[in-house]
Amino acid sequence: MLRFSLHCLFQTASLLLRRQQLYALTIILTLGLTLGALVATFNLNYQLFMAPLPYPDAERLQLVRGSQWQQDKQVAAEWLPAQGQLDVYRKNWPEVDSKALHNIGIDVAQNLPGNPSFNIGYITPEYLPMFDAPLALGRHFSQKEGLDSQVPVAVLSYQVWQQHFAGDPAVLGKTLQFRGVSFSVVGVLAERFVEPVLAAPGWSTDLWLSYDFNDVGTLNWSFSSNQIHLLLKLKAGANPQQLAQRLAHSFEQWAAPEFAAANQSNAFLKNSTVRWRLEPVRSRILGDAAGLSLSLLAGSLLLCAIAIANIANLVLGRAMAQQRSLTIRIALGARASHLFRQYLLEFSVLAIPALLLCLSVAEACYQSLQAGYAGPLPRLQELGSGTLSVLFAIALLLVLCLTLALWLTRQLNYRQLQQSLQQSGKGSAVQVSGRTRQLLLMSQTLFCLVTLIYCSQIFVQALAKLRQPSGLDLQTYQVALTQGSLLASSQNEERRQLFVQAAEAVKAQSNAQLVGVGGYPPISFWQAGFPMSSVSQHADQSAPAPTYRYNGDAAYLTALGLTLKSGETFSRQQIQNQESVVLISQSLARKLAANISTGVSTGVSAGVDTTGNDPIRTMLDKPLYLRGATSPSRIIGVVSDLILPGHADSAAVYTPATPTAFPHLLVRLPDGQSLSRELVNQALAQVHPQLKVFRFHSSAEIFASHTQDAKVATVVTAGLSLLALALAGLGIFAVIRTQIQLRQYELAVRQSLGARPQHLLQLTLLDSLKPLLWAVLVLTVGYSALQLSLNFGWSFDFAGQLQIAPLNAILALSTVLLLTTLIVVGCMRPLLTRPVVHALRGTTTQ
């Protein structure tokens, strides 16, 4: 019996593929492509929101977080004194099973060939067991290697073990040297370990070192870093809220006076309080990925909806073309259940290759996601074509096949089919109500319009982002340096001098036009970026203006691409003496000048320019208080704006400081010359053996990596628009063809009464455009409802991108209008170019 069924199955399949190749191919491609995308995005969302974390008792893992408040007003959403974290770690809490400290950094291995850079996780011994990190070799850190032990040990990731030690089992006991300290390798993690990404999206740790050797330096009450994490594993049944309250209460008792005393002279922190809270590790790992992942799911659902409407239309059209064979089957005694089984069999045959294509597409989507094409998303390492993907795809296809078979069987008018045997086959017995057809067409058009409008907006925004001049000099190189053991063994001033010498050495070695030294540039290899700081025109730091803050010498600013608009740049003396002078960007100058003219500022009202002079000039020599500073800095110049990807604002303030650690060199070479990491390392070796390059990129590379999301957005939205248009075109074609097939006899009657081609074209075109009008109406009502809900204070993440730009809407509408018109003309053409008698005799048009 089974053999017979399988035989039937393959026979039907081969018949389908042989006789209706285009039909079969269209269904397989449509299903495979769209369901593949849906399976991938479903799996992604399942992974993010539903799948348990691959750690034991993951729901008990919490991260200690905090925020800074002044008089019940939140000043910084993420702020927790590092000293407080350390204290909490050292104390015992009855609700807590274990605690761990974690910090990330990047450093250069000084004893490995080529001095490679590594992403480092500085951890206390509890960290890896907390996540039950599996080992390939050796062990985790022991308690003897914990906080304050000063025992330098390392655990390698599987990838580093393979890449730098060729998977040698004898790696245990070998040493890695960072900043002059030799770390003994005690373990290698297994390949299957999934790292919890707590700090920066897309971060992947290469090796873990003892926490005592982190590069943050001495922790105090004024310092907070979002790269330092205090993790707690609560005891079973412990309440995180209660623990957070206990932490806050305890903090008041043990540290609040100390905190206040330490920050008395800090204008930014004085009179501040810290509010403690616990954040589940799961939500920290998820971060703000929900918006992107849900958008991807919504997009694929929309495509799938278009595809299903298409397929419904296609199978309907095919059923109409098969009316004669249906009639014969019914005459031979076939009942509805037989036809249902026949359709189900046919759909199932098509579903098998569609399933294979669907899984391939899903796998390609996983690869693309893991390659970062959709931006940094968490838990991508766990994403893959597992059982869940396969089962979900099979379930989807099964439901779809059953639904389609059932729906199609119900469209058949058996009475008319039986009667048609006695007639000359005029009319159609595959009866679909006009309302159903119009609804199909409307849904098709609506989905297409929404996709086109949505995609065109993202496309235009992404393109604008790509085409907008940034103001950056993309001909330069960004060279990030590590100072090795100098951080511990030298004074700040000594290191500053070394960094200046390093810049001079690189300039001499590379014959560069310009080598500037400064801190992290506005965009760098560090994709996560830095939060905005603020400046104020008041000594009490009131009315702060959000701004980015950078430091560097005059060459550094020039190499960035900044041009002086007014005033002067930093002098050598100002840099050497770290004088309290600043350069500000044009947009900050305008903002500050506007504050003065509107009276927001009172402290500098004497400087208000009422003569109508350029507001940029009026800011020169005005005092400005940097965040936390008690004495003002003088504005000596205004420089051009940098418009950078990921930066909400161009307001920036530049200080003449040479950093005391992790400096960046900006190198500009004469045209046609290039620079290498080795050359810079050679130059650095002349200055000090501990100075090494740990990141080396051209500015163009860095800019390209920061605009990667925009590039992906343009390609994806353009592709999605074309796909939506193609799918909608296919669906609209199928519906209109079906409509015309259903009406061909009526149209022929009209022709026989003297209707000319233009009459029939007009008739079918108007009929086909009605659903378009309905779709526009539904879209308008939906958009108005969205606007209304926004007015009521409800907010939706996607609303920002659904703001209908009239031009985009008109363009989308025109495209769909043109598409529909072309399809109507194309479908009507065979009917209009052949003798009327064929249609009257019931010969199909296609």
Partner 1 sequence: MREQKINMQGITKVYATDEMETHALRGIDLAIYAGDFVSICGPSGCGKSTLLSLLGLLDMPSGGSYQIEGKEVSGLSLSEAAYIRNEKIGFIFQSFNLIDELTVFDNVALPLRYRRQAVPKAELEARVMACLKTVDMTHRAGHRPNQLSGGQQQRIAIARALVGSPALLLVDEPTGNLDSRNGDAVMDMLCELNNNGTTLCMVTHDPRFADMASRKLHLLDGRILDADGTPLLQQASVDQQHAAPLRQVAP
Residues found near partner 1 in the complex (CB under 8 A): 423, 426, 745-746, 749-759, 832-833, 835-837, 840
Nearest to partner 1 of 114, 835 (CB atom):
835
Nearest-approach distance from CB 331 to partner 1, in angstroms: 21
Nearest to partner 1 of 240, 425 (CB atom):
425
Q: How remote is the C-alpha of 779 from its chain's centroid?
A: 27
Nearest to partner 1 of 253, 758 (CB atom):
758
Nearest to partner 1 of 90, 426 (CB atom):
426
Quick one: DSSP state of residue 51? Answer: S
Nearest-approach distance from CB 754 to partner 1, in angstroms: 2
Cβ–Cβ contacts within 10 Å for residue 407, how many? 15
Nearest-approach distance from CB 840 to partner 1, in angstroms: 7
Nearest-approach distance from CB 760 to partner 1, in angstroms: 9
Nearest to partner 1 of 419, 803 (CB atom):
419
Nearest-approach distance from CB 465 to partner 1, in angstroms: 52
- Dihedrals φ, ψ of 645, to 5°? -60, 135
Nearest-approach distance from CB 842 to partner 1, in angstroms: 11
Which residue in 366, 309, 395, 297 sits closest to 798, CA to CA? 297
Which amino acid is residue 259, in one-letter code? F
Nearest to partner 1 of 730, 742 (CB atom):
742
Nearest-approach distance from CB 757 to partner 1, in angstroms: 6
82: tokens are 């590092």
Nearest-approach distance from CB 338 to partner 1, in angstroms: 30
Nearest to partner 1 of 700, 832 (CB atom):
832
Asked whether 824 and 736 are in contact (CB, 8 A), the reply is yes
Question: Is 693 in a helix, a strand, or coil?
Answer: strand
Nearest to partner 1 of 608, 836 (CB atom):
836
Question: Is 655 in a helix, a strand, or coil?
Answer: strand
Q: For the residues of 58-94, what is the DSSP string, one character each?
A: GGGEEEEEEEEEETTEEEESS---HHHHHHHHHS--T
CA–CA distance, 231 with 237 (Å, rounded to integer): 17
Nearest to partner 1 of 639, 748 (CB atom):
748
Rounded to 5°, the CA angle 59-60-65 comes to: 100
Nearest-approach distance from CB 312 to partner 1, in angstroms: 24
Length of the chain: 846
Nearest-approach distance from CB 756 to partner 1, in angstroms: 4
Asked whether 731 and 313 are in contact (CB, 8 A), the reply is yes
630: tokens are 């008690």
Nearest to partner 1 of 254, 745 (CB atom):
745
647: tokens are 């930066």
Interhelix angle for 708-752 vs 806-832, to 10°?
40
Nearest-approach distance from CB 747 to partner 1, in angstroms: 10
Q: Report the chain's terminal Cα–Cα distance, integer Å.
A: 38
CA–CA distance, 625 with 497 (Å, rounded to integer): 27
Which uninterrupted H or E stretch holds 24? helix 21-45
Cα distances (angstroms) measured from residue 274 to each of 256, 483, 628: 9, 33, 16
Q: How many CA atoms are closer than 13 Å to the CA of 392, on its beta-carbon side?
A: 20
Nearest-approach distance from CB 320 to partner 1, in angstroms: 18
CA–CA distance, 400 with 412 (Å, rounded to integer): 19
**Positive or negative torsion for Cα 47, 49, 51, 53:** positive
Nearest to partner 1 of 674, 833 (CB atom):
833
- Dihedrals φ, ψ of 623, to 5°? -80, 150
Nearest to partner 1 of 80, 430 (CB atom):
430
Asked whether 75 and 266 are in contact (CB, 8 A), the reply is no
Nearest-approach distance from CB 427 to partner 1, in angstroms: 9
Nearest to partner 1 of 380, 831 (CB atom):
831
Nearest-approach distance from CB 359 to partner 1, in angstroms: 43
Cβ–Cβ contacts within 10 Å for residue 766, how many? 11
Nearest to partner 1 of 713, 742 (CB atom):
742
Nearest-approach distance from CB 841 to partner 1, in angstroms: 8
Nearest to partner 1 of 256, 832 (CB atom):
832
Which residue in 819, 831, 812, 798 sits closest to 291, CA to CA? 798
Q: For the residues of 254-320, what is the DSSP string, one character each?
A: HTHHHHHHHTTT-TTTTT-EEEEEEEEHHHHHHTTHHHHHHHHHHHHHHHHHHHHHHHHHHHHHHHH
Between β-strands 476-482 and 581-585, what pairing exists: parallel, antiparallel or unpaired?
Answer: unpaired
Nearest-approach distance from CB 789 to partner 1, in angstroms: 40
CA–CA distance, 819 with 511 (Å, rounded to integer): 60
CA–CA distance, 602 with 614 (Å, rounded to integer): 20
Nearest to partner 1 of 246, 759 (CB atom):
759
Nearest-approach distance from CB 323 to partner 1, in angstroms: 17
Nearest to partner 1 of 115, 744 (CB atom):
744
- Dihedrals φ, ψ of 655, to 5°? -115, 150
Asked whether 105 and 526 are in contact (CB, 8 A), the reply is no
User: Checking phi first, is residue 592 left (phi over 0); if not, alpha (psi -120 to 50) or beta?
Assistant: alpha
Between β-strands 175-178 and 181-189, what pairing exists: parallel, antiparallel or unpaired?
Answer: antiparallel
Residues 6 or more apart whose Cβ sits within 8 Å of residue 129? 98, 140
Cα distances (angstroms) measured from residue 166 to each of 155, 163, 170, 171: 16, 6, 10, 9
Nearest to partner 1 of 526, 745 (CB atom):
745
Nearest-approach distance from CB 412 to partner 1, in angstroms: 19
